[in-house]
Amino acid sequence: MATRLLNMTDSNVESRSEDEEHDACESGFSAVSDARLVDEARRGNTDSFGQLVLRYERRVLRVIRRFMPDDQMAQDLAQEAFLRAFDRLEQFDPSRRFGPWLFRIAVNLTYDHLRRVRRRGRWALFSEAGYERPPDPATDDPRQHLDTSQEVRMVLADVPEAYRTVLILRDLEGFSTSEVAAVTERSEATIRWRLAEARRMFREAWERRDRAMEERQKRE
């Protein structure tokens, strides 16, 4: 049930249907074409890098939005990811695929931002605290007013970062195991193990959420 929910969120269904044709050219990260464009960009051809931006911008933004609810900040982080990739092109290993390298930059930037938010003491959707802090009984439970995609986001907050990343990339974004391994710089065996653990953690967190809501309803 919980894993099925991961694949059935409104935003997931909508984004896949809207971007199906666009993502077809990204399948497998378009390694050959990307390599040519990266080579040209490294030699100073900014138009070639612009083509890489056009190829990946929608999916980069979509991935970042999986980790945070603030659309404007997600757009800012996506732009920063491309700027950072351009600045670091000389560090890119041309024997590897460009796509995983770019998504690794985007995901790392997003987590860096969320850590800064937490250090400043502001509320963040993907707080590692999860549901450890009990809600104020005098206030309504906000989860009662969430749609399915929002509920999934909230429950994902209980999944530790390393596992959450694998779960989002594999189950929500449909990356292959090899692609997730390349993005996270881990072996495919590690990714398969983490995915199984992440699904278990998500299921248990979802069940805890259901029990908490049932107990609250009984008290009311």
The length of the chain is 220
The domain made up of 2-122+145-219 has a fold known as Rna Polymerase Sigma Factor; Chain: A (1.10.1740)
Which pLDDT does position 124 carry in this prediction? Answer: 43
**153 sits in which H/E element:** helix 148-156
Give the pLDDT band (50/70/90) at residue 132: very low
Q: Are 25 and 58 in contact (CB under 8 A)?
A: no
Q: Are 167 and 5 in contact (CB under 8 A)?
A: no
Asked if residue 129 has pLDDT above 70, the reply is no
Q: In degrees rounded to 5, what are phi and psi of residue 120?
A: -80, -5
**Could you read off the pLDDT of 64-101 as tens digits, one per residue?**
999 987 899 999 999 999 999 999 999 999 889 999 99
Asked if residue 9 has pLDDT above 60, the reply is no
Tokens of residue 61, six digits: 């933004």
More confident residue, 174 or 140: 174
What pTM does this model have?
0.74
**pLDDT averaged over the chain?**
79
Asked if residue 22 has pLDDT above 80, the reply is no
Amino acid at 13: V
**Could you read off the pLDDT of 139-148 as tens digits, one per residue?**
444 444 456 7
Q: Are 117 and 60 in contact (CB under 8 A)?
A: no
- The DSSP 8-state label assigned to residue 80 in this structure reads H
Q: Taking the domains of the chain in order of start, what are their residue ranges?
A: 2-122+145-219
Average pLDDT of 28-32?
A: 51
Asked if residue 1 has pLDDT above 70, the reply is no
**To the nearest 10°, the Cα dihedral for 54, 55, 57, 58?**
110
More confident residue, 34 or 14: 34
